[in-house]
């Protein structure tokens, strides 16, 4: 039997990860609903990719309680890139730039 390989960050860095990270970097308030709308990624895939990005500490989530809503409402998830995530995004953009040159 083969030993199960430890998950590597390269296993998760695909187009969806790039789009999510880019949207977080460029939106003023990248709440979950904004990511869902702006990325066009279906909810289940978005949740899965967000969890992977959190696992590798590429993004951070902060839960914000809206002051204008009822007391019992759920807090909203606001996402930010970590320093590591910002660096990875720069490299992904550079890779896209290099590959798109003709």
What does the domain layout of the chain look like in residue ranges? 13-100
pLDDT, position 67 = 72
Give yes or no for a contact between 68 and 36, defined as CB atoms under 8 angstroms apart.
no
User: Tens digits of per-residue pLDDT, 20-43?
Assistant: 999 999 999 999 999 999 999 999
Among 1.20.58.1880, 1.10.10.10, 3.20.20.140, 2.40.160.20, what is the CATH number of 13-100? Answer: 1.10.10.10
Terminal alpha carbon distance of the chain: 45
Segments of the chain with pLDDT less than 70: 1-2, 68-72, 102
pLDDT of residue 11: 93
Q: Alpha-carbon distance 55 to 61, whole Å? A: 11
Q: What is the pTM assigned to this prediction?
A: 0.88
Tell me what pLDDT residue 3 has.
79
């Amino acid at each position: 039997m083969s030993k199960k390989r430890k998950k590597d960050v390269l296993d998760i860095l695909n187009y969806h990860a790039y789009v999510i990270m880019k949207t977080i970097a460029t939106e003023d308030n990248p709440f979950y609903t904004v990511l869902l709308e702006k990325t066009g990624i279906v909810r289940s895939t978005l949740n899965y990719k967000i969890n992977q990005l959190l696992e590798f500490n590429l993004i951070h989530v902060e839960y914000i309680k809206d002051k204008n809503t009822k007391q019992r409402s759920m807090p909203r998830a606001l996402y930010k890139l970590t320093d590591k995530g910002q660096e990875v995004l720069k490299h992904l953009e550079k890779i896209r730039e290099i590959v798109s040159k003709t």
